[in-house]
Copies of this chain bind each other. A is one copy, B any other.
Amino acid sequence: MHREQRQRTRDLLKSKGIERALFAHIESVIWLTGFAPVIELQSPFQAGPHLVWYESGTFTLITQDFQAPYAGNYADEPDGGLIVYEGYAIEHPIRSVADMAEQLIGLVRGSQGSGAVGVEVDSVSTRQFHALNLGLNHPDIIPVDNWLKPLRMIKTDEEIAKLRRAFALNDLAFAAAQQVVKPGVTEIEVWSAAHSAIQNADGIRSPLGNDCVVSYREFNIGGLPAKNVLREGDSIIVDLSARHQGYWSDGCRVFYAAEPTPEQIQRHRFIESALDYAISLIKPGVKAKDVDAAVRAFVQSGDYPGYPHHTGHSNGVGLHEEPRIVPYNDLTIEAGMVILLEPATYTFGQKRLPH
């Protein structure tokens, strides 16, 4: 599982002369190992972020016993490995932090590598960093945050399969949402219908992103579902990200509480044409910012207000990955990338709710 990801990482670290590294960002950990931990509520016994320790070409996952089953057979991978610390106990006070630190110190103490150690310092806890320092007797540190992000842009076949499943779950959720949309229903009821469809189909508890917003809300570009009631004539934005085996989809639909008006239909069709246009622009060799500019110009040509957010982005172990299709981005589109496009027009809210 995820061997190609580890090979890319080995190649990068070798090219930088780094023999040892500690990864702690949840996206890095999932991407390197295929481990897909429960994330929608953290165990009260978890001792900081899940970790991956790289040394001598192997990547050892360190996690809490409760989460170990979600690592599948990663312990048996030729370049993998699994270290588990104790979370819950009733025989003695919870000592997960102490056990995690002992395991980490024991692991790195046997280190054969030399030179500076790469660390995702934005993510690793200070306790974990302290354990690393104790085990290695205060080595030089090189921050490696964001180093894996460019490596993640080209998706492997294994990742495409996970993403396709995540997108299929989103489609089920859109169908379930559409079925309940009618006057008198609340945003949160639409959301729950979508959420249930995903959980029931995937057979597992799962978190769900992003928005579910009725058209009359002041800030209707992003936003969490609430008890706002749909009325005759309203539309509702349903923007969802399902998570399957650690991989996120992302998609958006607009539904209508009743029969859409001719104006609603016209506008909906216009944005569909903007989406078709945006898709037509995505080719190897094109710059992200040029796609962004062209799609914004297309929407503005339609006598509708535009959109204050990105034109698109990629997804994977992160909800929002490179390439970002945004005004500043010089990045060039390549074959093997997965890109989501979301041209839009909004009547009310032009204020961006970032998340």
Contacts and interface: CB of A to CB of B under 8 A. Distances in A.
Nearest to A88: B354
Given A87-B354, A121-B127, A199 B203 contact: no
Interface centre among A122, A129, A203 (most CB of B within 10 A): A122
A188 interface: yes
Interface in A335-355: 352-355
A200 interface: yes
A352 to B, nearest CB: 7
Interface stretch (A9-17, A34-42, A160-168): A34-42
B127 A125 contact: no
B38 A39 contact: no
Interface in A107-149: 119, 121-130, 145
Interface string A8-44: 0000000000000000001100000000001111111
Oligomer: number of copies: 2
Interface centre among A128, A188, A324, A352 (most CB of B within 10 A): A188
Interface stretch (A75-83, A224-232, A264-272): A224-232
A290 interface: no
A203 B227 contact: yes
Interface residues of A, number: 71
A73 B247 CA distance: 36
A309 interface: yes
Interface stretch (A89-97, A255-263, A298-306): A89-97
Interface stretch (A53-61, A151-159, A189-197, A274-282): A189-197
A326 interface: yes
B66 A355 contact: yes
A310 interface: yes
Interface centre among A44, A87, A91 (most CB of B within 10 A): A44
Given A41-B40, A89-B354, A48 B204 contact: no
B123 A124 contact: no
A127 B89 CA distance: 31
Nearest to A187: B203
A334 interface: no
Given A44-B319, A45-B320, A48-B122, 5 more contacts: A41-B207, A121-B127, A125-B125, A126-B126, A204-B224
13 contacts: A41-B207, A41-B319, A44-B319, A47-B122, A86-B354, A121-B125, A121-B126, A121-B127, A122-B125, A122-B126, A123-B127, A188-B204, A204-B225
